Structures are given as structure tokens and as C-alpha cells.
Amino acid sequence: MSLTDQIQNYVETLVEEKIYEKLGADADMDTMIDIACVALNQLPARYIRYAVDLVFYMQPEERQKLFDDVEASVSEAIAYVENHKRQA
């Protein structure tokens, strides 16, 4: 087991949740993956071992800013991916 098996980027979880919220569970998986990549490349990583770590160490204002940044990044990523879809 490596050290990185014990940590996660919390922002990945937030982005995934926001994508499902906006597109629904029936959306095309390839499109959702593209959106996640675009959104995550716009956001700083927030590594945690346990979710409680994030709640304990972040101020409410900082946590709200993170949620707002995720919302904006996912919305921008959806628009970007939709505007750059390959024509089959």
C-alpha cells in the first residue's frame, strides 16, 4: 500500500457531484469525463485523508468559496465541452 492510497483530492468528489447534479446520471460518460477533466484543471487540489479533515480545517467562508468555484468551473467546462464536441 502506498501513501497515495490513503489520500484523496476532495475537489474531485465535488466536481463529480456537481456534474451529476447538472447533467443527470444518464448523461454520456465520455462527455462527463471530458467535463471533469476541464473543470479539475481549473481548480486547485484539496487533498484529504478523511472528509472530516476538510470540515475541521476550513473556515465556512473558505468552504463556500470552494463550492462556488466548483460550480463556476463545472458550468464553464460544460459550455466548453459542448462547444468543442467532435462531429462524428
88 inside domain: no
Q: Please state the rounded mean pLDDT for residues 54-80.
A: 92
Q: What pLDDT does 3 receive? A: 85
Comparing CA positions, the residue from 38, 46, 49, 47 lying closest to residue 75 is 38
pTM: predicted TM-score of the whole model, two decimal places:
0.88
Burial of 71 (0-12, 13-18, 19+ CB in 10 A): middle
Say whether pLDDT at 53 is over 80. no
Instruction: State which residues form the domain around 48.
Output: 3-83
Q: Based on the structure, what is the number of domains in the chain?
A: 1
Give the pLDDT of residue 87. 58
Report yes or no on 32 lying in a domain: yes
- C-alpha 32/C-alpha 55 separation (Å) is 27
Q: What is the mean pLDDT of residues 49-63?
A: 82
Q: What is the pLDDT of residues 30-48, one digit of tens each?
A: 999 999 999 999 999 999 8
